[in-house]
Amino acid sequence: MGCAAVTVSPRLENLVTWDSDWSGLRVAVTGIGVSGFAAADTLIELGARVVVVDAATSDTAKASADTLKIVGAADVLLGEEAVTRIPRIDGELPELIVTSPGWRPDQALLAAAARAHIPVWGDVELAWRVRRREGRKTADWLAITGTNGKTTTVGLTESMLRAAGLKAIAVGNVGKPILDAIREPVEYDVFAVELSSFQLHWAESLSPLASVCLNVAEDHVDWHGSYDSYLADKAKVYERTQKACLYNAEQFETERMVENADVVEGCRAIGFTTVTPAISMLGVVEGLLVDRAFIEERRDSAAELAAMADLGPIAPRHMVANALAAAGLVRAYGVDAAAVRQGIRDYVPGDHRIQPVARHEGVLWVNDSKATNPHAAAASLAAFTNVVWIAGGLSKGVTYDDLVREQAHRLKAVVLIGTDSTELAGALQRHAPDVPVIAAAPGETEEVQTAAAEGATGTRFPLSGEQVMSQAVATAAQLAGSGDTVLMAPAAASMDQFSSYAHRGNTFIEAVRGLVEGQAKTGEE
């Protein structure tokens, strides 16, 4: 999904600080969600002439539109028609488009912009350009991307930095828009910046102090057009890195990305591994997380950073890798080993990430709704044996053969959710034919006998996500025995039956609690 080459005007080239001359610049902002709103609000504050477009017509979108109009937007256009063509500002085409990260390059308006040679920036590119402001401290950026583990690693990085006494905040794809953090009155020392492949696609001038691509696996192929394009956008995290490019030594693709990156002179390549590290790497030795990269005597010794036990009661391999990546980033910044350990201990994992929900009658129930692709689900499954696996959902164009082939020996049974789990079911049939597979519901519907008229033959009604998950949990309970783990790691997105992965995870938690409480009451009776 490449874009046509654009010629950047001298004016745009010179917009590299908050104090540059943004006044009167004609800018179209696509999207009125969290990122788009922050971009539009920032540009209005800078004095640009801003028009915002979005296909949404919800009450939330209308409220955001009203706010932007009050603070000075030239116009806000909502509805499907608004996003089919480039909007005009004062009768002229915009000089720049700032897009929300989810907008695909082949979306009609953005494709038209490419044909018209109008530059397109993402919100992160805009943030990088306005990060420096006269009379204020400029925060350093530690940039984090990867198919999985981004949010955990960003959180660990933030925790380690704060343990070192630094003013640090996690921003970007993690939740708070980076533009909002830049405009806060707090003068931060460091930003731990989570970057999605979408955000990196629209970024051209970032130069982080240190960067990492945690891992890569097939994901978002529908957005990028191909896996190679996805990898190319992920690799942009390393471009212009100043001090250290962290790579996953157990995944050669990330090392190749570093080798091919155009970095600042003197920038180091630092590997991380979940086994014994070589020189200039971080790794694990006898249950300890160690550093052989950021110490003088690295040729023949290592510095202890933390113990595996510091990561909590469940420390799967990918969690160890995330902690080592975060440690590498903050060590590149200059944080000492004691703060790394304290940061790990202080960190509270987010919900829906290998989250123990209950242990009942010898069965461990675990919620990993954040495992929205096969790579994440594989990492989750690898942490357990004898698994009753609840999986399925919106596949995003990926395949499941490698996942099932590698993890089949862990599976006791599989309970399928999702409106269409054909691909996953097929992979299970091919690579785990002896594992029982049960559908929690027949697609998205169930047969419901109508009582409207005599002789009615029945009507198909949608099952709610709550109903689907309740069925899945009840089925899993029948299949699991003492010593087993019921793991909800769907390997797919949630939007076919739930509003988000969090909604899916919370639904699972409620269903498990209802099951446990119901069985407890039955026992009492």
367 marked as part of a ligand binding site: no
d(CA 90, CA 177): 29
Q: How crowded is residue 412: how many other Cβ atoms within 10 Å of its Cβ?
A: 18
- Structure tokens, 135: 């009379």
d(CA 119, CA 96): 5
102 marked as part of a ligand binding site: no
Residue 271, CA distances (Å) to 283, 326, 450 in order:
9, 12, 62
- Structure tokens, 510: 């409620």
The residue assigned the tokens 């590997």 is: 271
Sign, Cα dihedral of 174, 180, 184, 189: positive
d(CA 83, CA 506): 34
d(CA 194, CA 174): 6
Cβ–Cβ under 8 Å, residues 50 and 40: yes
- What per-residue string of b and e applies to 248-265 under the rule 16 or more CB within 10 Å gives b? bbbbeebbebbeebebee
445 marked as part of a ligand binding site: no
254 marked as part of a ligand binding site: no
The residue assigned the tokens 């909002």 is: 180
Cβ–Cβ under 8 Å, residues 484 and 478: no
d(CA 149, CA 141): 18
As beta bridge partners, residue 168 has 190
Nearest-5° Cα angle at 257, 253 to 259: 115
507 marked as part of a ligand binding site: no
Strands 210-213 and 281-285: unpaired
150 marked as part of a ligand binding site: yes
Q: What is the DSSP letter of 238?
A: G
Crossing angle for the helix pair 317-333 and 150-163, to the nearest 10 degrees = 40
First to last CA, the chain: 63
d(CA 493, CA 13): 39
Sheet containing 355-360, strands listed edge to edge, beginning at the edge strand earlier in sequence: 355-360, 363-367, 485-488, 387-391, 411-416, 437-439
422 marked as part of a ligand binding site: no
Find all residues with CB under 8 Å of 343, minimum gap 6, and list them: 156, 159, 160, 161, 162, 163, 164, 326, 330
Long-range CB contacts (< 8 A, 24+ apart) of 286-292? 289/320, 289/323, 289/324, 289/327, 289/340, 291/327, 291/328, 291/331, 291/337
Longest Cα pair distance anywhere in the chain, in angstroms?
A: 86
Known binding residues are 146-152
- Annotated binding-site residue numbers for ATP: 146-152
